[in-house]
Amino acid sequence: MNYAASAAAVVIVGSAVCCANPALAAKIPFIGRIFEEVQQIATFSGEYDGKSEVLPEEYSAENAGVTVTASEIYCDGLSVFLTAEVDMAQGGLKNLPGKTVYLNGSWRTGADGKEKMLANNNLEGKVIDDRTFIGMLKLDLEDTDLKKGTLELDISMVGYDDINELDSEDITASHTIKGEWKLKIPFSADTEAVKTVQVNQENEGYCLREVFVSPYQVIAYTDVPYTENTLTREEFDEMMKKEKTGGADPGLTYEQYMEQAGKDCAQCGTIIFNQDGEMLQPAEEHHGRAVCAVQEKEISKLYIYVFDDFDTWAEVSEKGMECEAAGQALISAEVDVK
């Protein structure tokens, strides 16, 4: 874009003033355009600001000196991507070593209203000033037919690390603030930009059933051999006692644990490449669900490899789909997306 010289001068002077005066820079409003600020640095990066819905500032909650304000929301049908600003009256964010603020609590959505834990779903973004953080939260849905709904967030803890306390043996966040922040946010699924492709390729008890493709993630669904977990409630209680004695408290009920670990699945590792041989960034894989971040890569065809051996998976991940180890995959599938 071309600007007049005078306008460019104003922009330059304004930027210089903001850099020289952090207090003034902190007053720049980010609500309504957080995707624009963090969409290139988030794991599931991409152009969200043209697709997301901007929320009114009424979606905000304040407690214990912390204000959480939802900014924008986008749903691709299988995940909800929510941006938010966290304002901490106590400050301390200038020493944040990374790009994450931790959230504990629960959330629910969909017709069943089933509550899920906020576990490993953290706000990923950047520090604006000593008391302000903006970021993106990704929440994975179970209802694949959901076209619209209401996201209900019930946050019970906000935490963050301190670069001066990284040597601590405690693996929990350096600073935690407990409180109650409740948000109810409506959303609609973007059904136009996504696609599900049936594959149904089997070998030795493994089956690559289908692949879901959105502008921001690719999810491969795989059935794997498994045995039922026979852990009793008494054995679970004893295991939790040992966890707490060791300093860790997962905070799981027996029912929640069995839902997550009710099956002892055989080892399974999935790697996905696009038509140019570029590997999609693996994000997570469990319960037959392998999630990869697209990160703005062009996708017209996918090459999917399923392994039952981690070492082979790691070799292909490092050397690419042309290496000999790729030939050891249990399943090798070529999937046309367009």
Per-domain residue ranges of the chain: 1-27, 31-188, 195-225+266-336, 227-261
Q: Residue 330 class from Cβ within 10 Å (0-12 exposed, 13-18 middle, 19+ buried)? A: buried
**Beta-carbon-side half-sphere exposure of residue 328 (alpha carbons within 13 Å):** 14
Report the distance separating Cα 199 and Cα 285, nearest Å: 18
What residues form DSSP beta bridges with 301?
336
Q: Which two tokens stand for residue 310?
A: 């981690």
Q: Which two tokens stand for residue 203?
A: 């070998």
Q: What is the pLDDT of residue 15?
A: 37
Give the alpha-carbon dihedral of 291, 294, 299, 304, to 10 degrees.
Answer: -30
CATH of domain 195-225+266-336: 2.60.40
**Side chain identity at 60, as an amino acid letter?**
S
Do you know the residue count of the chain?
338
3-state secondary structure of 163: helix
CATH of domain 31-188: 2.60.40.1630
Coarse DSSP helix, strand, coil percentages of the chain, rounded to the nearest 5 percent: 20, 40, 40
Q: What is the pLDDT of residue 1?
A: 31
Report the distance separating Cα 272 and Cα 283, nearest Å: 11
Mean pLDDT by 10 residues, the chain (338 residues): 34 36 51 95 92 92 97 95 96 92 90 74 92 95 78 94 71 85 95 94 96 96 87 88 69 78 83 98 90 96 96 96 96 94
pLDDT tens, position by position, 170-184: 557 788 999 999 999
The enclosing H or E element of 27 equals none
- The reply to whether 195-225+266-336 shares the fold of 31-188 is yes
